[in-house]
Amino acid sequence: MTPNTPLNVLFLCTHNSARSILAEALLNHMGKGRFNAYSAGSSPRENQRPNPLGLKTLENAGISTEGLHSKSWDFFATPDAPHMDLVITVCDNAAGEVCPYWPGQPATAHWGYADPSAVEGVTSNAWRRFAKPCT
């Protein structure tokens, strides 16, 4: 890897509907080409889609939602998948599961974050935390 090569980062959660999707979009936006962020879930539900409030929060913050979709982490364990440099779990459930083998043995981390989609109400502070990303 050269100094100008973006780092590939995979964010994992159980369903890949809120936290991991938000992390993917935020890092791609804030990383300004220094990162290629992706997201996946250990067990997304059939026909799982990103949480609409999460997408709206990103849009309100001026962050692109283009191409965001829920998918299984199995997608990234295939030989033709992008090589990951870092894999980060963002929910405690996914952190406690046995992950697939990641080619290249990327660094791993756990950044536990409460599930904003588990909070009832559109005006919840859980979503507001994502509207003003740290700089």
List CB contacts of 134: < 8 A, sequence separation 6 or more.
none
Q: Tell me if 2 is assigned to some domain.
A: no
CA dist 87 and 73 (Å) reads 11
Axis crossing angle, helix 19-30 with helix 52-60, rounded to the nearest 10: 20
The pLDDT tens digits for 24-63 are 999 999 999 999 999 999 888 888 899 999 999 999 999 9
The pLDDT tens digits for 82-131 are 999 999 988 876 556 667 777 778 888 887 766 666 656 555 555 455 44
Q: Tell me if 30 is assigned to some domain.
A: yes
Q: In which domain, by residue range, is 49 found?
A: 7-131
Domain count, the chain: 1
**Residues 36/9, Cβ–Cβ less than 8 Å:** yes
Q: Tell me if 123 is assigned to some domain.
A: yes
Residue 68: CATH number of its domain: 3.40.50.2300
- Pick the residue with more confidence: 102 or 12? 12
Q: How many CA atoms lie within 13 A of 118 on its CB side?
A: 7
pLDDT of residue 5: 92
List CB contacts of 62: < 8 A, sequence separation 6 or more.
none
CA dist 94 and 90 (Å) reads 8
pLDDT of residue 130: 46
